[in-house]
Amino acid sequence: MKSIILQTATRYLLPILLLFSFFLLLRGHYYPGGGFVGGLVASIAFVLHSFANGTESTMKILGYKPLSLIPIGLATSTVSVTVPLLFGLPPMTGLWFEEPIPVIGMIGSALFFDIGVYLVVIGVVLTILFTIALND
């Protein structure tokens, strides 16, 4: 399916969707939302790109296999869960930096947990979709 409209639209949609997914990822701080939705939106951006330009070219802009995102994401999340143990707190307790960071706001262990979830979701969705697409 090569459509010039879709290809042109995707060129602009890909960065916008990625930015939006990043916004959703950060929004999960104190509000509902976060890593899971952000990850889905980000993977939709790549899926759209693969629809327009073919799976191979999407793999090329990703650079490496999406499968490798899964362990990285899992490790990030798990480490953020276990770090409070070092401070004598129960696992999963939110730890926060004292000072807010411009634009992003307060940074805490919850953000790292969400980043982990974000990566795992992208990894899982893209692995499944690419496997199906390449088998056709």
Q: Which stretch binds other proteins (CB under 8 A): 6-14, 38-46, 82-90, 99-107?
A: 82-90
Closest approach of Cβ 93 to other proteins, in Å? 5
Residue 8 within binding range of other proteins, rule CB under 8 A? no
- Provide CB contacts within 8 A for 34, sequence distance 6+: 24, 25, 27, 28, 114, 117
**C-beta of 89: minimal distance to other proteins in Å?**
6
Q: Of the listed pieces 5-13, 21-29, 36-44, 70-78, which binds other proteins according to CB under 8 A?
A: 70-78
The stretch among 3-11, 40-48, 51-59, 73-81 that binds other proteins (CB under 8 A) is 73-81
